[in-house]
Structure 1
């Protein structure tokens, strides 16, 4: 536990990982190259097709010339008949990321495979290891039964995954069916339980978004250019090497259509049109996927933007979150001779000890660099981290001496040096000197990212000088500023610390009721924060004082607590607390039933999720959220195999007609359910209504499904018309 705490404490001082995502033809790869050159960094590919050798043209693989400009990883690492999963990507990407960090570089991950990026930056559950026999059997079934039959099997066992995975995507079909056969649990349910990963480095994600029409034009032009470059000849060449056309890479967009063309099952014109169509649909799915990435910042790209201007847009956002890593960026500008010299190796070794929390060993190594190395960037960094290491081994006077010297030798980090110098002064009992440093930070660096931490430190200094009221005023003003920030803001994460410190100061000054109320606020507003447990212990001690009036949580406060628990994926705790409330109340406000339903669904207990929704319908007949409840019940029933009951609830949801989006989603799902059962006439009725009367997302998807249905039964002209409709 001690080591984890140290790593998290120093996480913000570790070089980050930058992720650059975007749909195909959004110029993300070129932008990543520009960014990497600017930062003297290297690129890790997140493309499930570019890992394979020989598949170059159709994957838009980075050219040898560009790879000479900037090193790329996870490209051309496999033969076409080798397996590679999202779990493999995560393991290899993390290994390479940490390797680049040890070299003092900031890695850039870019690519269009959304699952790879989601697995990495959201801890998306992909780690189910498939038994080789199960894997072999599923692959055999795909070869013998065909992808259409296997997609139908997927619709039966996991409708949610079948809805997301196109019938031609055999790789993802294989994965979803394999997971189900291995675990008995639908693959879609694994994806619902996700959390922010607890890496030792921060992740900054950017999503390049382009106008849909411009994107589609780019896609059409790219396909034409790929054909001109010899895409068909590339496919022939790979087949001539003896590789089977049934291998996974040949099932991907473009390659699958060209295989059909080579078997004379369709004309070249139709092949090109289908590739364009499938690529446009893939781009739509990519956009949907990337927009849901955790904490991703959107880069709006217009027609005039090129990789250089997009790079600058990314860099313009970095100072707000990345200023703290300025010294790493500066280091990246040193020449390659320094990067491979003895000093760099010594520094890398020292940094490794520092990251592990071995501060005594780190101090010895940093001191060696500090005393023997000439004035270089490495020496500046070593002196800065030597001062930190000494402070952590309680050698405060030496730490102060080196921090003071670093102010002159390392001006790029002056605000950080002064802040931590103030902290060491405080720990050594020198409050006057500590106050002086904090005041310099706030006056000289009004935009520093350390401003919030500086105010918290100021309150601690004032407390040490017995100026408790002044300290409380500083914290109150800090709380006021932090409270208006968005939840995703890094500075807002300091709010629990501010509130806990207020409680501590009120307690210290004898204002017990105020102290209790501050701890109480932490209990319902930040239930999963590590300080909340300490606050609860303090509340229990204060509760023994008869002068304090204990107030039970109001329903509004309960809701705030439960919403926070839900947001932090504490589903079981949500269920426990709402269940306790239902023991003492005959009914609860509307939102509680939906929190309970979603928590039960997150725990894969869809029957209990429906039970919560039915209680809502019982207690609130005619409520404006009735349609939502009916829809959710219908979806749970469909996903658990209760086909007729699911249809009934979806139809009842449509009858409510309050929310047009929900109504159209229900129509689309009914169409899907009929299609699964091969009731194509009924499916067509629902899909056609969407296509003819609406222009939203579900109308587009309905047009695609109509195209697919007609394609499977041989009505190719109708299929083409509907595919064309869905791309507009």
Structure 2
């Protein structure tokens, strides 16, 4: 770095699924002394490789990624867990004079890291089990009403069909005695220093849709069905876990459970992935301080490198 007191910048590469983020991170590794940190809530799970579009073992050997394959699919991993782990890795990388490169599509992880995350309590399996039991007995509408009684602001924001967020909001209150709304108003540690934020996507939505469909079909050819069959053989995994709710996994799980045929599974899997991409782009369109890149543009790498060089000069 030009200024010896200045810490290296953090490079953030965001974007919708199948937009080319990983290849861009690989390219940066060829040109910069950097450490890649995954910002992806699916890549954290061991044995979930094909359906999460995880880099191959050969790619991970050549371009190591932190926060990949760190927990079992039965375990939980929150945005707070991510922030804790990512901050430690970023600080360690910067101490060595290296550049942390954060790459992925889990926007909540990025937002929490850049803006700071609220001090929410850790997940409590026993309390979750009680909430899920009540939901089975009375329905999610009942759980939504329980939340509305203690935290009307969160209840208004969370759809009664969103079981995952409903469970978390009620769990937070039962664990801490404070509402999710109260705790989210408090912001903790966040990234400091130079943060270069880039988002990559295709010029046309139809092109992204085509890339998503192609990648989904490649996953099927690579043995995605067998991967989910292996998961289903475990008696500690079920459809409501965050791991199995990952896009693609849920649709294959439902197909293998006999809920619909193969063609319907493919259709639903592709649609769910496109909906994920749409949500990711919605986040990014309102994101401040963002530099947009176009999928397939040969100048993407040089645009990032020139911004890094500019910081090094100052």
TM range (shorter): 0.7 to 0.9
- Aligned with residue 251 of structure 1, among 245, 250, 253: 245
What pairs up with 1:694-709 in 2 under 5 angstroms?
none
Instruction: Tell whether the 8 Å contact from 2:135 to 2:142 is kept in structure 1 after alignment.
Output: no
**Equivalent residue of 1:83, what SS?**
coil
Q: State whether structure 2 residue 124 is matched by structure 1 residue 128.
A: no
CA distance in 2, matches of 1:16, 1:293: 19
In structure 1, what is the Cα distance between the partners aligned to 2:182 and 2:54? 33
Distance 1:147 1:38 in 2: 57
The residue number in structure 2 matching 1:220 is 213
Match of 1:65 in 2: 58
Q: State whether structure 2 residue 39 is matched by structure 1 residue 46.
A: yes
> Retained in 2: the 8 A contact 1:299–1:313?
no
By how many angstroms is 1:57 displaced?
0.9
* Structure 1 match to 2:271: 277
CA distance change for structure 1 residues 190 and 206 in 2, over 3 Å: closer, same or farther? farther
The match for 2:200 is 208
SS at match of 2:45: coil
The question of whether the paired residues in 2 share the 8 Å contact of 1:57 and 1:229 is answered with: yes
Q: 1:209–1:298: 8 Å Cα contact kept in structure 2?
A: no
Q: 2:255 aligns with which of 255, 261, 266?
A: 261
Change (3 A) 1:29 1:154: farther
Relative CO higher for 1 or 2, CA cutoff 8 Å, sep ≥ 6?
2
Query: Are residues 198 and 271 of structure 1, via their aligned partners in 2, closer, same or farther at CA, if it must alter by over 3 Å?
Result: closer
Shift of 1:258: 1.4
User: SS at 1:251's partner residue?
Assistant: coil
Q: Counterpart of 2:158? A: 162
CA gap 1:65/1:198 in 2 versus in 1, 3 angstroms:
closer
**Residue of structure 2 in register with 1:318 after alignment:** 308
CA distances 1:623-658 after superposition (whole Å, capped 9, x unpaired): xxxxxxxxxxxxxxxxxxxxxxxxxxxxxxxxxxxx
Alignment map for 1:681-692 (pairs within 5 Å): none
Q: How far does the alpha carbon of each residue in 1:222-245 deviate from its partner, in whole angstroms, 9 at most, with x for none?
A: 111111211111001122244422
Q: Determine the structure 2 residue equivalent to 1:476.
A: none
Which residue in the other structure is 1:525 paired with?
A: none
SS at the partner of 2:243?
helix
Partner SS state of residue 215, structure 2: helix
Closer, same or farther: CA 147–92 of 1 in aligned 2, 3 Å: farther
Q: Where in structure 2 are the equivalents of 1:426-465 lying within 5 Å?
A: 449=314
What is the DSSP-based 3-state SS (H/G/I as helix, E as strand, rest coil) of the residue aligned with 1:43? strand
Structure 1 residues 149 and 202: CA distance shift in structure 2, 3 A: farther
Q: CA RMSD in A?
A: 2.9
Q: Please state if 1:150 is matched with 2:159.
A: no
Q: C-alpha displacement at 1:249, in angstroms? A: 0.7
Is the 1:41–1:70 Cα contact (8 Å) retained in structure 2?
A: no
Displacement of 1:24 after TM fit? 0.5
Instruction: Write the distance in 2 (CA, Å) between the matches of 1:140 and 1:309.
Output: 53
Change (3 A) 1:198 1:68: closer
Q: Judging changes above 3 Å, is the alpha-carbon distance between structure 1 residues 131 and 300 closer, same or farther for their aligned structure 2 residues?
A: closer
Structure with the higher helix share, 1 or 2 = 1
Counterpart-to-counterpart distance in 2, 1:256 and 1:240: 15
Q: Which runs of 5+ in 2 are unaligned?
A: 149-153
Any stretches of 5+ residues in structure 1 without a counterpart?
1-9, 325-448, 450-728
The whole-number CA distance in structure 1 between the counterparts of 2:156 and 2:36 is 34
Distance 1:198 1:235, change over 3 A: closer
Compared CA separation, residues 270 and 33, structure 1 to 2 (3 A): same
Contact 2:112 2:190 in 1 (8 A): no
Relative distance call for 1:190 and 1:233 in structure 2 (3 A) is same
Query: Could you list the runs of 4 or more consecutive aligned residues of structure 1 that deviate by over 4 angstroms after TM superposition?
Result: 183-186, 188-196
Offset of residue 98 of structure 1: 1.5
8 A contact 1:25–1:219 mirrored in 2? yes
Closer/same/farther in 2, CA of residues 34 and 313 from structure 1, 3 Å limit: same
Equivalent position of 2:230 in the other structure? 237
Quick one: which of 84, 93, 105 aligns to 1:100? 93
Provide the rounded CA distance (Å) in 1 between the counterparts of 2:132 and 2:5.
Answer: 47
CA change 1:73–1:145 in 2 (3 A) is same
**Aligned to 1:250, what secondary structure does the other structure show?**
coil
Structure 1 or 2, whichever has the larger Rg, is 1
Specify the SS of the correspondent of 1:178.
helix
Using the TM superposition, name which of 45-54 and 248-257 deviates more. Answer: 248-257
More strand by share: 2
How far apart are 1:294 and its partner, in Å?
4.2
Q: Relative to structure 1, is the Cα distance of residues 313 and 166 closer, same or farther in structure 2, using a 3 angstrom cutoff?
A: farther
Question: What do the CA deviations read for 1:9-44 (whole angstroms, capped 9, x no partner)?
Answer: x99711121111111011111111111221031201
Counterpart secondary structure, 1:177? helix
